[in-house]
Amino acid sequence: MAMSKRLDLVRAHHDEYDAAEEPRIVEIAPARYLALAGKGEPGGPEFQAAVATLLKVASAVRMDRRREGHEFKMAPLEALWWAPRRAGGAWSWEALVRVPEQLGGREVKEAAARIAARGPAEAKKVRLETLEEGACVQALHVGPWADEGATVERMASAAHAGGGALAGPHHEIYLSDPRRTAPARLRTVLRLPLARARHAAGPRGRDRLPATLRELRAGTSPQHRAREMR
């Protein structure tokens, strides 16, 4: 089968991934992702294991698409974060890899089943999801992830200057590989949806009020809407 031109999702949606250290308001269209949710400390073994599993499934899906003549470039790892709601609680997160809009749920299930058959079994939990964020404030954070607070403060100021408020969850797009990049040079796009006038449905359909800045810093207020693809 003749090979089509390789799709680069970041280049195709350049405006959504373009970020500078000065925050700006962006409009994010619905996007399709492979997703794997879990709980654990940022950078901890649970998250690292989930990322490894997600990338294996993403690679399998990519190879399947390539054999069909629809090759795409692997997009950078992304993640949504929610901090513990009480002291001593576990972080919640959702690791994400963006995929083409044409990808179907059956393709994902078949690829995930093959990976799970060889291990890890968690591969069966990878799902296809459409993330709807809409109007967001976005900025590039350069440096260690632990130092993101100052960047988030600038994002909050930009949102308030435009008459809005930050909502969450905390969305990170990892442009650097931490295994090959010094912490001071890590480049991470931070994206936070703006609060809607009405309550917004969370990832499981629960309504939430717009986040306070304190909630936002902790990442505890899910405002995005996600649709799982069957």
Question: Burial of 198 by CB count in 10 Å (0-12 exposed, 13-18 middle, 19+ buried)?
Answer: exposed
pLDDT in tens, 145-168: 989 999 999 999 999 998 888 887
Cβ–Cβ < 8 Å for 70, 5 = no
How far apart (Å, rounded) are the C-alpha atoms in residues 98 and 189? 15
Are both 31-130 and 131-229 of the same fold? Answer: yes
Tell me the domain boundaries of the chain: 31-130, 131-229
Model pLDDT for residues 166-194, shown as the tens digit of each residue: 887 899 999 998 889 999 999 999 999 99
**Regarding the domain delimited by 131-229, which CATH topology (the fold level of the hierarchy) does it fall under?**
Multidrug-efflux Transporter 1 Regulator Bmrr; Chain A (3.20.80)
Helix (H) or strand (E) holding 59: helix 45-67
* Structure tokens that stand for 149 in this block: 């607070």
How much is the average pLDDT of 41-47?
Answer: 90
Does 31-130 carry CATH code 3.40.50.150? no
Residue 196 has a pLDDT of 59
Average pLDDT rounded to a whole number, residues 91-119: 95
